[in-house]
């Protein structure tokens, strides 16, 4: 049955060794070379979302919402269409049901099975309990030929049950990547001053030693530049039509390839070569370093636990949920205990719609166990609010930047983005992508290689690697402290971002220094405004507000004000910070000799005489004629 679809932004590889990998159809929903139109797998009749359609087309899917229990008389009207679909236009064939604490069905498989039978009797539909997920939720199967109305009837029946906390479709997910063509000197994303993540400066303090990172993705294909850092993982794909390795779940997370022929994933989806997406992601995090070959990993002292959830045409929520649970030390029925519990999870995958209660529950449990969850914001050039798991709570949602430090054209954006990291932009040159470990096989594994990819799938492992560096330097850090330190020590984006790219571009050196007590800042709560405001030429001042709450006493004597303004001839601008009581603090005066463009910097203000809570404003005025611009975003860090 189809589950909701997730995608990744990856470029189809072009080998760094002589032979480049072919360029696939526009990126699949965050999948390397896949689109995401709905697809039907002929052999099984199961509908899968096709990767090709979702790719570069940057689809905006209907946001799914969790309907509340309704009276039987109005059930159909209470179930939005998106709640009945595994993907846009494809009725769900499985549901994930979460029972309230205390309900017999929450712990007893027999009770859940009996409840499914009761729901089947009430609706006249096929409803069959399949298994218990790691979060405790029940996976129930519907008829392969169920219509949207049939699914709605079953969902409404569950929603009307006072013992049910939530019921959501089992959606199909895909790797997040934008297909494209193709050693340390080529890894601009790590060291270049303009838009690199300043990773070398962190290596004197930490290499990630002692930290396991779970890469929930397509699995791992053998590569000598990664092998030393690979520990045991698991293959969580339960549907053999997706796994294409001849079996279901097992302890072998090897990636057999996720290629497909034209039409396999949908009538309009062209053929695609294997992406080896999980191996590319893993290389960015922990490729072996100082070994005289290949590329360097951000946290090359860390270990990678590959968890396979994505296969042919994508992967299901139910498998991803169990992978999140197991990776963080939770128990999953039928799966041996995890001997390599991860303190960091990387999910370079995604799909359309709201973050479901089922997925959020798994994430919350992982975070409560002390695991930091890092996810891709997505590659649809759309608000991340429309794409899961980038819109989930308790995650670090990552947007992608290009080699000049601006938001990559494909990257999602919005107030739910937490941070930005290099994701590359191969449309401006293959070498402007992210180089990492890969395989030259177009279908099944062949010789190892390296290739450039682009996407939020590539940005995300940069942050997962940074988290590993932080956790190694200071094992006591909680997920919340990790997220706060990354944001507090970020620098303003060197380039433009319209719509919101989080706290800025992650700075690995400053962040690791902060958590190890040798510099930077662990502190502070950051408040952000991402609403762009036009600055009129030679006109009246504009003001952008930020509402601050939850603080006690006065503002600090070193209040940080980070400003991102696009404006030709910045000498025209006068910038003030206005406190809640109306007091103004001059940040920048006009200057007829300052002809440079843009203002992207952080000012420090002694605001210790001001009450912290209230509405703060950034006031910007262009006092000369002939140039105009935009206040893109600004932040206050207390």
Catalytic site positions: 217, 277, 457
Relative to beta strand 94-99, strand 138-142 is: antiparallel
Tokens of 265: 């994933």
Reported as type and span, the H/E element at residue 189 is helix 188-191
| First-last CA distance in the chain | 48
Q: Where are the alpha helices (DSSP H) in 389-490?
A: 456-473, 479-488
Q: Where are the alpha helices (DSSP H) in 351-500?
A: 357-368, 456-473, 479-488
d(C-alpha 233, C-alpha 66), whole Å? 32
Helix, strand, coil share (%) of the chain residues, nearest 5: 20, 25, 50
d(C-alpha 588, C-alpha 192), whole Å? 28
Tokens of 286: 């922990």
Question: What angle, 0 to 180 degrees and rounded to 10, lies between the N-to-C axes of helices 456-473 and 508-515?
Answer: 30
Angle at 569 between CA 565 and CA 572, to 5 degrees: 80
d(C-alpha 579, C-alpha 587), whole Å? 13
d(C-alpha 213, C-alpha 586), whole Å? 45
d(C-alpha 376, C-alpha 419), whole Å? 10
Reported as type and span, the H/E element at residue 52 is helix 51-54
Tokens of 137: 């939720």
Distances, alpha carbon 525 to alpha carbons 551, 553, 597, in Å: 9, 14, 30
d(C-alpha 318, C-alpha 322), whole Å? 6
Which of 198, 571, 618 minimizes the C-alpha distance to 405? 198
The one-character DSSP state at 498 is S
Close Cβ partners of 103 (under 8 Å, ≥ 6 residues apart): 163, 164
Which of 370, 350, 494, 478 minimizes the C-alpha distance to 421? 494
d(C-alpha 403, C-alpha 491), whole Å? 15
Torsion sign over Cα 611, 617, 618, 619: negative
Radius of gyration of the chain (CA): 24
Tokens of 30: 């965050």
Residue environment code for 376-404, b if the CB has 16+ CB neighbours within 10 A, otherwise e = bbbbbbbbbbbbbbbbbebbbbbbbbbbe
Q: Within its chain, how far is the Cα of 571 from the centroid?
A: 38
d(C-alpha 395, C-alpha 132), whole Å? 24
d(C-alpha 39, C-alpha 117), whole Å? 29
d(C-alpha 350, C-alpha 347), whole Å? 8
- Residue pair 151/94 in contact (Cβ under 8 Å)? The answer is no
Which of 17, 4, 28, 25 minimizes the C-alpha distance to 277? 28
């Amino acid at each position: 049955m189809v589950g909701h679809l997730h995608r990744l932004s990856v470029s189809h590889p072009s080998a760094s060794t002589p032979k480049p990998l072919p360029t696939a159809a526009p990126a699949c929903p965050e999948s390397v070379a896949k689109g995401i139109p709905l697809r039907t797998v002929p052999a099984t009749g199961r509908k899968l979302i096709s990767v090709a359609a979702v790719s570069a087309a940057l689809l905006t899917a209907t946001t799914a919402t969790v309907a509340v229990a309704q009276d039987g008389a109005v059930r159909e009207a209470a179930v939005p269409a998106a709640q009945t679909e595994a993907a846009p236009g494809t009725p769900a064939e499985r549901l994930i049901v979460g029972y309230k604490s205390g309900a017999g069905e929450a712990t007893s498989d027999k009770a859940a099975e009996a409840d499914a039978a009761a729901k089947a009797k009430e609706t006249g539909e096929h409803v069959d309990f399949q298994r218990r997920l790691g979060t405790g939720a029940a996976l129930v199967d519907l008829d392969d030929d169920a219509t949207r109305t049939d699914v709605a009837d079953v969902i409404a029946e569950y929603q009307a049950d006072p013992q049910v906390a939530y019921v959501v479709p089992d959606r199909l997910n895909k790797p997040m990547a934008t297909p494209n063509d193709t050693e340390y000197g080529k890894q601009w994303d790590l060291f270049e001053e303009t838009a690199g993540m300043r990773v070398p400066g962190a290596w004197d303090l930490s290499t990630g030693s002692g930290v396991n990172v779970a890469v929930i993705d397509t699995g791992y294909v053998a590569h000598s530049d990664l092998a030393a850092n690979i520990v045991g993982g698991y293959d969580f794909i339960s549907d053999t039509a997706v796994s294409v390795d001849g079996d279901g779940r097992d302890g072998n997370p090897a990636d057999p390839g996720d290629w497909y022929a034209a039409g396999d994933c949908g009538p309009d989806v062209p053929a695609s070569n294997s992406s080896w997406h999980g191996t590319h992601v893993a290389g960015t995090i922990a490729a072996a370093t100082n070994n005289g070959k290949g590329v360097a990993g951000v946290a090359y002292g860390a270990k990678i636990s590959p968890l396979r959830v994505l296969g042919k045409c994508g992967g299901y929520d139910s498998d991803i949920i169990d992978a999140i649970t197991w990776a963080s030390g939770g128990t999953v029925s039928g799966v041996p205990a995890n001997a390599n519990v991860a303190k960091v999870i990387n999910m370079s995958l995604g799909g359309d719609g709201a973050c479901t209660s089922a997925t959020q529950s798994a994430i919350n449990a992982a975070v409560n166990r002390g695991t930091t969850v890092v996810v891709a914001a997505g590659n649809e050039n759309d608000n991340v609010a429309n794409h899961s798991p980038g819109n989930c709570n308790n995650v670090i949602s990552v947007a992608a930047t290009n080699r000049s430090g601006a938001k990559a054209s494909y990257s999602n954006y919005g107030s739910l983005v937490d941070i930005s990291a290099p994701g590359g932009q191969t449309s401006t040159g293959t070498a402007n992508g992210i180089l990492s470990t890969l395989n030259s096989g177009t279908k099944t594994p062949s010789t190892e290689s390296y290739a450039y990819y682009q996407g939020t799938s590539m940005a995300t492992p940069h942050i997962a690697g940074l988290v590993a560096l932080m956790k190694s330097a200071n094992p006591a850090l909680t997920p919340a402290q990790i997220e706060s330190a990354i944001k507090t020590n970020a620098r303003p984006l060197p380039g433009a971002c319209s719509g919101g790219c989080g706290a800025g571009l992650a700075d690995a050196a400053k962040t690791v220094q902060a958590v190890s007590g040798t510099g930077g800042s662990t502190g502070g709560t950051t408040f952000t405004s991402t609403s762009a405001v036009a600055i009129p030429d030679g006109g009246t001042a504009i003001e952008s507000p930020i509402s601050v709450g939850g603080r006690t006493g006065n503002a600090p004597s070193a209040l940080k004000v980070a400003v991102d303004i696009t404006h030709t001839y910045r000498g025209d601008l006068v910038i003030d910070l206005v406190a809640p009581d109306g007091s103004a603090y001059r940040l920048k005066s006009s200057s007829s000799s300052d002809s440079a463009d843009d203002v992207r910097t952080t000012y420090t203000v002694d605001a210790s005489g001001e009450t912290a809570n209230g509405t703060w404003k950034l006031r910007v005025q262009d006092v000369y004629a002939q140039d105009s611009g935009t206040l893109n975003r600004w932040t206050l860090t207390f």
